[in-house]
Amino acid sequence: MLLTHGDLANRVRYLNVRGVQLTFGDNDRLAAMLTGVVEADLLVLLTTSDGLHEQDPRLHPGSPRLGWVDEVTPAVEALARESSSSLGRGGMASKVHASRIAGRLGVWVVIANGLKPGLLRAAVAGEDVGTVFVPSGKRVSSRQHWIAYTRRPQGELTIDDGAFRALVQDGKSLLPKGVREVRGRFVSGDAVKVIGPDGREVARGLASYNADEIERIRGRHSREIEAILGYRYTDEVIHRDDLVLTLDPWGT
């Protein structure tokens, strides 16, 4: 089956894909997204190196391989950017990023050398054949994963300090009162990025109103929505059930 990003971004097509057996080849990010579709336990990403090394092994022969990564931190991502591969479009950096995406679903990831005979059997058996990425402690549901990593954001909402605390610390919905700025053209149901006061992405979610409507009600209390718009769908700009935090615990 040949899949495109649209097959996963559209919720109906996404659910249809879940009902069939998959055989495909595609990029690292697509592979990570599909772990949720097929409810995989393990994702093996093949490259031309033995895994993630402390330095690019082609430029620094003998550089130690990392056998185990507990968390994809900025330091780990920096190592990946320094590494390279003669095959694939994304290189080691995209594989590490894919490991982080799959890890949010509780999926173990192994990056290993696909040129070695018997590699897949060894990886599935748990042998030391590459770099193992441990699933994230902050796991999300399949639907949350779809919102955060599969839907393409169509716009951005910048929020104030109060909204930031409500979302990150209290686990609440995003109300119009906390929205400072609206960017992009989107309609109700589209995915949008939520940007914190410091410019970092905080979350992603499905907008309850379109961009023009949010522009008119931003900074106002929910009780004023109907008076401003002439109607009210909901009190929230993004309901908590449609919102996924993407801010990493180490602050990037």
Which of these, 9, 16, 6, 32, lies nearest to 189 by C-alpha position?
Answer: 9
Cα–Cα distance, 31 to 135 (Å, whole number): 15
- Global pTM reads 0.65
Express as a percent the part of the chain with pLDDT over 90: 56
Over residues 19-42, mean pLDDT: 72
Over residues 28-49, mean pLDDT: 87
* Residue 74 CB contacts under 8 Å (≥ 6 apart), including other chains: 250, 252
Tens of pLDDT along 164-190? 999 999 999 999 999 999 999 999 999
pLDDT at 57 over 90: no
Tens of pLDDT along 88-105? 445 888 899 899 889 988
Hey, which residues does 163 pair with through a beta bridge?
Answer: none
pLDDT in the model for residue 87: 46
pLDDT at 160 over 80: yes
Domains and CATH numbers, the chain: 5-143 (3.40.1160.10), 153-245 (2.30.130.10)
In the structure, what pLDDT confidence band is assigned to residue 232 with cuts at 50, 70 and 90? very high
Kind plus residue range of the DSSP H or E element containing 43:
strand 42-47
* Residue 182 CB contacts under 8 Å (≥ 6 apart), including other chains: 155, 156, 157, 158, 211, 214, 215, 218
